[in-house]
Amino acid sequence: MKYELHAIKSVVGRGEIMTRLGDICEKIGSGATPHGGKEAYCLEGISFVRSQNIGDFSFSANGLAHINNEQAKKLSNVELKPNDILLNITGDSVARTCIIDSEYLPARVNQHVAIIRGKKDIVLSSYLLYFLQWKKKYLLQLASAGATRNALTKSMIEQLEIELPTIEQQRKIAGALDKIQEKIKLNQKINDNLEQQAAALFSSLYNRSNTEVRYTDLIQILGGGTPKTGETAYWNGNIAFFTPKDVGTPYTFITEKTITEEGLSHCNSRL
């Protein structure tokens, strides 16, 4: 991700026109929860997108909910269209952004996800997606300022300043970054395969051992803590801050959030 963001930074932000995101989008707005909440979900029907489905550059169908046509009609104002950008606006996964795969349309979104739909003759969705990913650290700062819960408002999103090249320049920029993104995906698949091989080898060697000890004889278990989210001096430093959303691989080298030395001194976590 660090290399990816560096690549984005090197090519995004070279436009000649500075404008606000709200001026180049025909829609910026969050969704809603269907009447009845989770009880309204069904096994099949219209896709109902929640924050858990939004990753960085990737849409996950794991846990994708569905609602019936009647519920979907009541949420027609938050209907997703092809190439709409989804942005998480609350909670620990705030600022994650992606474009939903067309195979999951038609779809609606809940109140924790914003729809960003650019004006087709002005801005490409792919360029907007890379821009939002490039601005993620800034979005996290906005979301954590002055609130007990991380949140991005519609106004915050609309006021984002963006340098806007011509459509042709946008297409070239997005095309260059798409190639990098494809290489990253390929490397991730290779890593997944290697992890499976390593797990199989460990299982084979582990089953040969005749020595058993308690797990707690080998490790030390420590609890964590979180600095005040509304205190800006505690956040966006050089110390990695591990949260459940960073879980997913055997080793974690980069976390979504970071804290400062002062933030570390004001929480129960120990290095």
DSSP letters along 91-140, please? STTTT-EEE--GGG-SEEE-TTEEEEEE-TTT--HHHHHHHHHHTHHHHH
- Is 57:98 a contact under the CB 8 Å cutoff? yes
Determine the Cα–Cα distance for residues 193 and 190; give it in Å rounded to an integer. 5
Mean of the per-residue pLDDT values of the chain: 87
Tell me what pLDDT residue 192 has: 82
Query: Per-residue confidence at 204, pLDDT binned at 50, 70, 90?
Result: confident
DSSP alpha helices (H): ranges in 135-217? 136-144, 154-158, 167-206
Structure tokens belonging to residue 270: 């120990």
Determine the Cα–Cα distance for residues 255 and 245; give it in Å rounded to an integer. 9
pLDDT digits (tens, 9 = 90+) for 135-164: 999 999 999 886 667 899 999 999 999 999
On the CB side of 60, how many CA atoms lie within 13 Å of its CA?
A: 11
Query: Per-residue confidence at 127, pLDDT binned at 50, 70, 90?
Result: very high
pLDDT digits (tens, 9 = 90+) for 111-122: 999 999 999 999
Residues in the chain, overall count: 271
Is pLDDT above 70 for 132? yes
- Cα 176 to Cα 37, 169, 224: the distances in Å are 42, 11, 41
Tell me what pLDDT residue 68 has: 94
Burial 148-185 (b: 16+ CB within 10 A, else e): eebbbeeeebeebebebbeeebbeebbeebeeebeeee
Determine the Cα–Cα distance for residues 96 and 166; give it in Å rounded to an integer. 26
Tell me what pLDDT residue 269 has: 73
Question: Would you give the distance in Å from CA 13 to the centre of its chain?
Answer: 21
pLDDT-above-90 percentage for the chain: 52
Query: Per-residue confidence at 14, pLDDT binned at 50, 70, 90?
Result: low
Q: Order of strands across the sheet with 85-88?
A: 25-30, 113-118, 85-88, 97-99
Mean pLDDT score, 202-219: 82
Structural domains of the chain ordered from first start: 2-178 (3.90.220.20), 216-265 (no CATH)
Mean pLDDT score, 163-176: 91
pLDDT-above-70 percentage for the chain: 91
Mean pLDDT score, 190-219: 84
**CA-closest candidate to residue 242, choices 265, 223, 221:** 223
Tell me what pLDDT residue 133 has: 93
Amino acid identity at 173? I
Query: Per-residue confidence at 221, pLDDT binned at 50, 70, 90?
Result: confident
Tell me what pLDDT residue 76 has: 92
Q: Which residues contact 33 (CB under 8 A, 6 or more apart)?
A: 110, 111
Mean pLDDT score, 215-223: 83
Q: Which residues contact 208 (CB under 8 A, 6 or more apart)?
A: none
Query: Per-residue confidence at 33, pLDDT binned at 50, 70, 90?
Result: confident
- Cα 224 to Cα 124, 189, 219, 221, 270: the distances in Å are 42, 32, 16, 10, 7
